[in-house]
A = this chain, B = another copy of it.
Amino acid sequence: MTAFPVSDRTSSLRIAPGPVDLGSIDTDAAPGYDGNKTTGAEDLIAMGPELADLQERLWADGKAEGKRNILLVLQGMDTSGKGGTLRSTVGLVDPQGVRITSFKAPTEEERAHDFLWRITNALPPVGVIGVFDRSHYEDVLIARVRSFAEPDEIERRYGAINAWEADLAANGTTIIKCMLHISAEEQKQRLLDRLEDPAKHWKFNPGDLDERAEWPAYREAYEIAIERTNTEVAPWHVIPADKKWYRNLAIGTLLLDALKSLDLDWPKADFDVAVEKQRLADEKPL
């Protein structure tokens, strides 16, 4: 095992308060990790049993009227690997204990509400790991780049997000916010790969290239959004994501750290164990 400990992970991926310069963060790096592609994949798989055990404790805690849950927010440009991360890391725990929501363009009903309405509806119950594939951050990212909302409204949203996330955290939710950070060159290669492979054509949409053309505007929108919403209770992590194996290992480690930090014991029995054993011992033939 060469997986990095909590402190190294935190110091290398967590974004410091203040202005954010994504250009200074190497998309092809593997901060805090000495291994390579092979060991990275092995180390992620090796986390599986502990992840599964801790997830079951969280689930059990929820059944026993605990109030804890986890919300993993994944943001990133097209092809940055939000879906692949889900398969590789979230796939390591019991699917019953996970609730995944992929946010698309809002429906008419959703647009008739505040932007946080549909997000709130998708929150995980207690005991569950919620995963957002895109999120309320689209409402300050694409909404800013494409002028889907007035500048005043975008401005209001940063504060609204911080208040909403603070409330979540105060209610027992551990929030993990991650931006999957790829280079424009890496995206180009991944889009070309999709075009080359008929089994991947369904993943491609010509509109993806229109979004790609706005790369600098998206970078700026991300930098502002991260700076404005990088709070103590809901900090941002930027994950170098050109290396898929590193991206998966990093997200897996963040999830593991979050679960560990809950320090959950198995719930105590709310019945008399000896009495129940005796009932079974004494039962009449069925």
Contact = CB atoms under 8 A, between A and B. Distances in A.
Nearest to A94: B87
Nearest to A187: B286
A119 interface: no
Nearest to A56: B199
Contact of A201 (B90, B91, B267): B267
Complex copy number for this chain: 2
A195 B96 CA distance: 23
A156 B63 CA distance: 34
Contacts of A94: 83, 86-87, 91
Interface in A222-252: none
11 contacts: A60-B202, A64-B202, A86-B94, A86-B96, A87-B94, A90-B95, A188-B283, A191-B280, A199-B266, A206-B271, A212-B286
A188 B267 CA distance: 22
A interface, by DSSP: helix, strand, loop or mixed?
helix
Contacts of A276: 195, 204, 206, 209
Nearest to A91: B95
Chain A, interface size: which category?
35 or more
Contacts of A86: 94-96
B96 A269 contact: no
A244 to B, nearest CB: 15
Given A96-B86, A96-B87, A283 B201 contact: no
Interface string A244-286: 0000000000000000000000111101010011011001001
B133 A96 contact: yes
A116 interface: no
Nearest to A88: B94
A102 B96 contact: yes
A20 interface: no
A202 B267 contact: yes
Contact of A95 (B60, B64, B87, B198): B87
Contacts of A280: 188, 191-192, 195, 209
Contacts of A98: 95
A209 B96 contact: no
A184 interface: yes
B286 A184 contact: yes
Interface in A80-115: 83, 86-87, 90-91, 94-96, 98, 100, 102
Contacts of A201: 266-269, 273
A241 to B, nearest CB: 17
A184 to B, nearest CB: 5
